[in-house]
Structure formats: structure tokens, C-alpha cells
Structure 1
């Protein structure tokens, strides 16, 4: 590889591929690299929930507004990358009714549509729901298939002129005279690149890239387990209507449901314990909402690491850390031209990309509007083509490996 891009995006998850797509759509020469297959970090190891924002409504109104806005956008542009299911927030007999009312009011205050259901109506909407569900409310949650979403963004970026390289790990970042001079990339690229701008979109791994450049980010990653079990017929996403805790989300797939999750701090997103108690607790707690999952056969189990940004974090419980995102410009740290985008949620990846592309374009003197909220993703309505692209970019990831129909080898 000899041509140096104007912008090098490091990280091939939803945010990184979204940034490459956005920049390419504005006419910026962008190259994206990832050390593995695309989506193999946090994006493809999530529970795949398309948030309505209800989960955050009472604690983070701005984050909830971001979620419902991007939820609507993805339903318009992402086609077979998402599945519209709706969601129920359910209150069991022992759950706080005041919290339930606060949650409903907070959703309505930020513009998240709600519909109240009594216990019988909730069980009709979600067959198999526990008998002691006393009340519920419906919200526009859904399901994201992240392997497809990432592949569609990467393909869209490429058709607009970007270059995408999976299996191309960054090996070093050279900073000279207060600015990024070059980035050494191995694997499929095997070259030293000299971009004008470098975007660190590696999520939970952002500290590692930043350290190569001699700057600090301040990630506070936490691990969470997902357990997929056999279960037919669940329509909506289930959310336990209580303060966020272990085992309070059930996400429907065809013939399976994904149960999650836990939140345990980790110091290294590549090397952490995977504890049996997390699996057991997630199943037990989710079974309080959907009893049949207690004895359902397990299909697969995986852990993901949340890219939480909290430079001053010292506590052990990281559930309270904001799921909002932050864009760091490292010129103030002596590495001009380097940006890190951290935090956020899969649902809000496109907004994260737009904000980052806005700042990069401002630096480059590019005057072009963002179009990613209006224009459909590449091949969004062709699931077979999307799954071919998933295979091209590194294969399906744990979240949606049961859904993505990657073509067999010849």
C-alpha cells in the first residue's frame, strides 16, 4: 500500500465504519483499519438492543433523546440490519411501583412513545411472560444485527471512495513536534501511513492506541455476559423496570433469546475473567420475567466489554457511568491531528460518527453537510448481499451469528 489517506480511522466497529462512511460521503479521502474482522470488538459482542432510550430516560434525559432520535433514523436507513420488535418494560410484584411511574413520566417527557399495559395485556403481547408481572409499558425498542450494520457501513464507505482493511493492526503511532506524523500498520496493510488526521475509534481499546501516541484517554471498561438460549415466540424485547442491574434484558431472535447482562470492571479489555456466576445470575434474573428460559438449552455464551469513558472513575460499580459519548481532540495533549471518540452506545453510533466527521472536516477545511441520516446504507434491503459482505469483512460476530447467513465456502 503506497497511497497515504487524508484521514486514517482506527477501529472497524459501528462507530469507526460509520465515521469512514460519513467522511467519504463528504468527499474526504479516508482509510479504515482494524486489527481483526470488522465488528469483532464491542459492536459484535453486545446484546444487540436497538434502544428506544427508555432505559436511560430518568437518569440521562439527553442520552435518551439521542437514542430515540437515532432509533428512528436507523429504522429508515438500515433495512435488514435492524428488526422492529417493540419492547416492554415490565414490573413484577416485588418491583417499586413508584419507579415504574417515574420511568413512564420520564419517557413521555423526552418524547419516547409509551403505551401502558396491565399484566394480562402484557402476557398477551409477550407469550410466556411471568404470572407475577403486574404492569408494563410498551416502547419502540428493537434489535440490531451488528455484523450486518458494520458491513453495510463499510460497504457504503467503500462505494463512496474510502478504503477498508480488516486484519490490519496498528503497531505504532509516531508524534513529532506536537503532531501525529505517521502510523505503522501491519497485517493486510503492512505499511507506514502519513495521514493528516487520525481518528481513534477503538472503543474499549482507545487507551492502547492513545498510549502509542503518548497521550491519555481514561477508559473504564466493564465486561458483561450474554447468554443465548433456545426459545420460540417472544415478540418484544423485555426490560425489567427497576434500577439497572444484572439480568434485566431479554432480546428476541428467531428461535432464540439473548439474556443479559452483568457489569464487572476490567483493567484489560483483551484479558479478563469470564465467571460462571455471571451466566447463572443472568439466567436466573431473566427467568423472573420469562420463566421458560431457566431450563432452556444454551446455544452460545459470550462476553463483551463496554467502552465506558470515565477518566476520574475509582469505584467498582460502573453502571452509573454515562452512556453518552465524548470526542477528544489531542492537540491540547501535544498530538495535533489525533482524535479519540469514546463512550456511547451501538444505537447512537451514527450520531457519534457525524459529530466526529464534523470536527474532522472543520479541521481540514471541508465544507460539506452530513447526509448519513437521510441516505440508506449500502444494500440495506438485501439481506443476502449483506451477509456476503459480512463474510468479506471477517465473518459474523457472536451477537448475530444465528441470524447472519454467511455463504458457505466453495
Structure 2
């Protein structure tokens, strides 16, 4: 089998890239070693950022988030719960940070409204006693399995070939050019040749790049998420302080997801999972929301952030940029026919895919502009269709397993 572009990695960014290219008329194949969204995407907390989390320190990241927040609410309403969000100031938190965040949001056009403790409790009666005030922002909840499958299925409707549960054993490198990959779907190895290969494997991008003889420094960090049975919260909660452990509570239908930690890891498949991180989620998130019960844990899972850094010693953990990087390995490493998209956030997956598709389309000599910000994703107008597609692909991921299939 031959194709024009081979996208490796079936998370949100890889599936979004395949969709974008297919919509431009490019022959594309999408390969994923497991289920769609089975890596970082499907092991996230599922917060659709408004950008408020990243100000005042990261203006560019905030601008990317609010722009994509608005796009995804429009093109993927069946993958989003538009809950809104609150940044809450707890006793002992720096009030100047709250004011700086509000001012930065207003400067960037991120809508805000300050609520007194009493007003905030009218909306969230179970706010902890030490909550002093809150800032309303346009955060939301995104269900990553639905989102990723919708992108993959949309790519298929535009002619893409989907190959989940297919592992890349090696890259085909001939005379300094990547010509495709050796893949195995369980029935034996075969070659899949392509004019251009996109590395969209997230935290595993360095391992794939090494198959092409390319050194790429990734700096993955793990974070725990704890899903707890909890009925009645319908607003995202964020702590109004600099990013730290246990400062996000994401509501689902009858649960909340508590997150998260940030621990540097060397291997995104093999790393220590410390139960003390679970205890920390209850301690820290409990400062925002009362009634969290460790006896009502439904599931615990760790995700690995696909962070990129050329100097891990100087930039580690929460200090690494959450922006994304498109690496042209021809210009960077002298290896043609090969590009990597690394870093970023689930919220900005579509923008990452657009940047990648723009670059790749030019490399393979294809015309056509991006239309993914205007065209709604498959299933947006057919209730239940997206969960039928999730079932078709047998995608089962912990980030939203309690939501998939619910009425």
C-alpha cells in the first residue's frame, strides 16, 4: 500500500492532521499503535481551556487557547460540554495574582466576571468554606475520545485510510529521505510507503524520530487524574494561583475528575505511579470543593504530557512551554520527507494540525487551504452518532469512559 502522506499517531493532533490533509484532497493514511486517543489525548483531564490558566505568564498560549476554544464549541458541540469555569481564590492565595489574571484576561478578550463568595456559592453550593471570591471564565469540558474519533471518522469520509492497532516497527530511510514505515497490524510486517511522514506521536515522538536517525529531545511529564463519583458540579473549577498540583476539578455527568501532578519521566510507557499523588489530589482539590470522598473513587489514571525541550535541565516540568513546535527535519537535521509536531495541548490540537497540514501540503506540492475551523466535525448533527463511531473503533479511554454512551 502506498500513500502521499503517512501520519503516525492517532491522538487528537494526528487525527486532526489526517482530517485537514484529507479535506484538502491529499491521499493520507493514519496509523495508531493502539486505539484512537489511547495515548495522551485519552488520558487527559479533558479541560477545554479558555486561556485564563496561562495568563499573565503566557500571553501567546492564552491567545491560542481562547481562539481554539471558540472554534471547537462551534465545530464540535457533540464533543464539548459548555460548562463555563471559575477561578477560585482560597484563603491564603495571593489576591494580586487574581487581579493580574483578571486584567490579563480582559486585555486578551477572554470574558470574565468577578463573583463574591456568596455569588459563587449560589452557582456551586459545595464550594469549600475558605473560598473568598471567584472569576467566571469561558472554560468548558471536552471529551477527548469523542473528539479524536470524530476527527478520524471525518478524515475517513474525505478519503483517508485509517489503521488503528497498527504498530510502526521501523521507518524506511533511503539516501537521507524517509520513504514510509514498516508497520504491523498483528498479521505480519509490511511496508507502507509515502512521500512524506508526519510524526504526531506526542510523548513518544523522540522514539519515532530515532528510527530516522534524528535526535529530538522530549521532556515528558506524568500527571495523575482521579475520577470520583460526585453529583451536582456543573462548572469547571480552577485554583487562582500559579500552576501547581491539584488545581483543576473537571465535572462530568455524575463524577468529577481531579487533576493533576507534574513529574518528569524518562519513559512515557514505564514510569512510577505513586499513590501519594492520589492523596494529594483530594487534599488540594478539596480546598476548592467540599465533599470529595476517597471511598468513591471510580478510576485513577496517569497521562504523560508531550512536552518538548532542547534543554531539559534548564526547563523542566511546569516551566516548559505548553506551546507547540513544528519541526522540519530536512532543515533541522538533513533528513527529508519527515516532520514532527510536538508539545501543545488538547485545546490547541486543531491549530497544531492546521500548521502541520500547511507545511506538509507545501512539501508534497498540493494546493488547498485549511477549512477545519469552519466545517463541523462528523456527527455534530446526528445525536448518538459519535458514540456509535467510538464503539465501531472500540476506543475506550479513561478520560471520558463514564460519559461515552450516556444519554
**In 1: Cα distance, 2:44 partner to 2:346 partner:** 8
RMSD: 1.4
Deviation at 1:295, TM superposition (A): 4.7
Q: Is the 8 A contact 1:8 1:30 kept in 2?
A: yes
- 1:224–1:260 contact (8 Å) kept in structure 2: yes
Q: How far did residue 131 of structure 1 move?
A: 1.6
> Alpha-carbon deviation of 1:380?
2.1
* Deviations 1:260-301, CA, capped at 9 Å, x for gaps: 000000000000010011100011100010021145510110
Give the TM-score taking structure 2 as reference length. Answer: 0.97
Match of 1:7 among 5, 8, 20: 5
Match of 1:344 in 2: 344
Q: Which residue of 1 aligns with 2:177?
A: 179
**Residues of 1 paired with 2:5 and 2:383: CA distance?**
30
Among 70, 73, 76, which residue is 2:74 paired with?
A: 76
Deviation at 1:313? Answer: 1.3
For residues 119 and 54 of structure 1, the distance between their equivalents in structure 2, rounded to whole angstroms, comes to 20
Range with greater deviation from structure 2 (354-363 or 387-396): 387-396
CA drift at 1:382: 3.0
Q: Does 1:271 align with 2:266?
A: no
When the two structures are superposed, what TM-score results if normalisation uses the length of structure 1?
0.96
Alpha carbons 1:230, 1:296 under 8 Å: kept: no
Task: Report the equivalent of 2:357.
Answer: 357
Structure 2 counterpart of 1:164? 162
* Partner of residue 129, structure 1: 127
CA shift in 2, pair 1:316/1:68, >3 Å: closer
Match of 1:394 in 2: 394
Partner SS state of residue 68, structure 1: helix
SS at match of 1:170: strand
1:64 alignment partner, SS class: helix
- Partner SS, residue 400 of structure 1: coil
Aligned pairs for 1:309-324 (under 5 A) are 309-314=308-313, 317-324=316-323
Conserved in 1, the CA contact under 8 Å of 2:15 and 2:152? yes
Is the partner of 1:195 in helix, strand or coil?
strand
Per the alignment, residue 40 of structure 2 pairs with: 42
Q: 1:354-381 CA deviation, whole Å, 9 max, x = no partner?
A: 0000001111222211000000001123
Q: Distance in 2 between matches of 1:363 and 1:383?
A: 39
Question: Given the alignment of the two structures, is residue 141 of structure 1 paired with residue 139 of structure 2, yes or no?
Answer: yes
Partner of 1:208: 207
How far apart are residue 325 of structure 1 and its match? Answer: 0.2
Counterpart in 2 of 1:66? 64
Deviations 1:168-211 (A, max 9, x none): 01000122222112310111684201100000000000011000
Q: How many Å apart are 1:396 and its aligned residue?
A: 2.1
Q: CA deviation at 1:216?
A: 1.6
Corresponding residue SS for 2:104: helix
Shift in Å, 1:258: 0.3
Distance 1:146 1:208, change over 3 A: same
Q: Which residue of 2 aligns with 1:116?
A: 114
1:379 aligns with 2:386: no
Question: C-alpha distance in 1, partners of 2:271/2:33?
Answer: 19
CA distance in 2, matches of 1:274, 1:165: 30
Structure 1, unmatched stretches of 5+, are none
* Partner Cα distance (1:153, 1:268) in 2: 28
- Counterpart of 2:95? 97
Q: State how far apart, in whole Å, the 2-side matches of 1:108 and 1:207 are.
A: 38
- Matched with 2:288 is 289
For 2:220 and 2:164, locate their aligned partners in 1 and report how far apart those are by CA, in whole Å: 23
